[in-house]
């Protein structure tokens, strides 16, 4: 294998490693955002449930899009409880996904730094060899 072919191969590996690092960072950002949104929505539903507990048998409404529809208080409480439970399950899945993506990102970053180290060592060896040849002449 010629030097040009070897260099081309190293460059391709370097670009592939860099691309995978960028993709994992993007995935991590998306998962983190979804996790944050889920936490906020869950807190909002829990606060609404808490506020609803203070309300007596007053007429209650639930939002559907931009409209509000009258519903019995137990029905509204059930909708909110179901939402909180669903969001907690999603949160557990997202935490697991986030941990997995973080591990993949660390692995990809290590691969990238390993390739860079190999390239730097190869260049240092080439430079030392060239300097040695010059010294002999």
The tens digit of pLDDT for each residue in 77-110 reads: 999 999 999 999 999 999 999 999 999 999 999 9
Token readout for 15 is 């670009």
- 113: tokens are 């730094």
Distance of CA 103 to the CA centre of its chain: 10
Distance, in Å, from the CA atom of 137 to the CA atom of 128, rounded to the nearest integer, reads 14
**Strongest mean pLDDT among 22-36, 53-67, 109-123:** 22-36
pLDDT at 1: 66
List pLDDT tens digits, range 17-48.
999 999 999 999 999 999 999 999 999 999 99
What are 19's two structure tokens?
A: 């691309």
pLDDT of residue 57: 79
Q: Return the domain boundaries, the chain.
A: 9-136
Query: Any idea which fold 9-136 has?
Result: Helix Hairpins (1.10.287)
| Residue whose pair of structure tokens reads 């260099």 in the numeric block | 7
pTM: 0.75
10 touches 115 (CB < 8 A): yes
């Amino acid at each position: 294998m010629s030097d040009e072919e070897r260099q081309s191969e190293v460059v391709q590996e370097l670009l592939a490693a860099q691309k995978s690092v960028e993709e994992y960072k993007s995935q991590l950002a998306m998962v983190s955002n979804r996790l944050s949104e889920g936490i906020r929505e869950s807190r909002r539903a829990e606060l609404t449930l808490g506020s609803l507990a203070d309300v007596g048998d007053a007429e209650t409404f639930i939002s559907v899009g931009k409209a509000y529809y009258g519903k019995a208080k137990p029905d509204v409480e059930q909708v909110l409880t179901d939402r909180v439970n669903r969001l907690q399950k999603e949160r557990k899945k997202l935490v697991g996904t986030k941990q997995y993506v973080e591990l993949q990102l660390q692995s990809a970053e290590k691969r990238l730094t390993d390739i860079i180290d190999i390239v730097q060592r190869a260049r240092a060896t080439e430079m030392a060899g060239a300097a040695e040849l010059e010294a002999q002449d």
